[in-house]
Amino acid sequence: MLSEAMKFIDIEVDGKILAVWINNPPNNYLPGQFFVELDQCRRDHMASERIDAVIIGARGRIFSKGADIQEIKSGSGTIDLETVQFGNDVFTGLTRLNKPVIAAVNGPCFGGGMELALCCHLRVCSEKAMFGLPEVTAGVIPGLGGIPRLIQTIGHAKALEMILLGDMIGASQALQLNLVSRVFAKSSFREQSLSFVKTVLSARKEAIQHTIEVFDLCRIHQQTAIEESAKRFSHLISTLAH
């Protein structure tokens, strides 16, 4: 375990793989401080030349349920446009790393948690995983790039249906939709996820880096949609407590 003064993130190193664990049980909500810590982790550790790949997972049985909407509705938590834009910048920073970033989704993955998974280059999940962007059913929209990234991942029609209906899908359907690359048994999920990352790294390092960079070029046109989503999310969420 690396020694870090972080409240919502744990980090570990296995060879040249950095494991980043969301640690805010039981629901692994993502408060503003989480994004500060994730940004610090990206700059101090993920971007290091000593690290060839990053795996993002979670402690406990839940990957993340995103923002605590009930806390926001009660007025005890606030999310303004500046906060949302910072969160988007942090997530975009992950996509622009020139090394594989893999989300290892061990359980429910909703809202901002799914948007975090979507900004990773690849996703694997356990057989118990569930995915969803339920923001519309709560009166807002995904504000951390979930809309354009989900469209790119599973296509326009299915993404629109999933978001408008607030659909929750299981691991098998996520695999069918190409939302995830692999589904592993819950009992050996961590080991198999790490093995998957090591398999990815079996290719030449420079070839992996150039491939990731070319794929990032294909994402450039997403930025306008991501920024617009942030503005609309912030506007809608500011009215929830009123």
What does pLDDT average to in each consecutive run of 10 residues of the chain (242 residues)?
75 97 97 95 97 98 88 64 92 96 98 98 98 94 95 96 97 98 97 97 95 82 84 86 56
Q: What local confidence, expressed as pLDDT, does residue 225 receive?
A: 84
* pTM score: 0.91
pLDDT score, position 220: 66
H helix or E strand, kind and range, residue 148: helix 146-154
d(CA 169, CA 227): 26
Domain boundaries, the chain: 9-237
Predicted local confidence at residue 3, as pLDDT: 43
* pLDDT at residue 77 in the model: 56
Of 2.40.128.20, 1.10.10.10, 3.40.190.10, 3.90.226.10, the CATH number of 9-237 is: 3.90.226.10
Beta strands per DSSP E along the chain: 9-14, 17-22, 53-58, 101-105, 108-110, 122-126, 130-132, 168-170, 182-184
Q: What is the pLDDT of residue 73?
A: 63
CA distance 136 to 141: 5
Considering only CA atoms, which of 44, 36, 37 is closest in space to residue 21?
37
**Which pLDDT score is estimated for 1?**
43
Q: What is the pLDDT of residue 217?
A: 80
pLDDT given for residue 70 in this prediction: 66
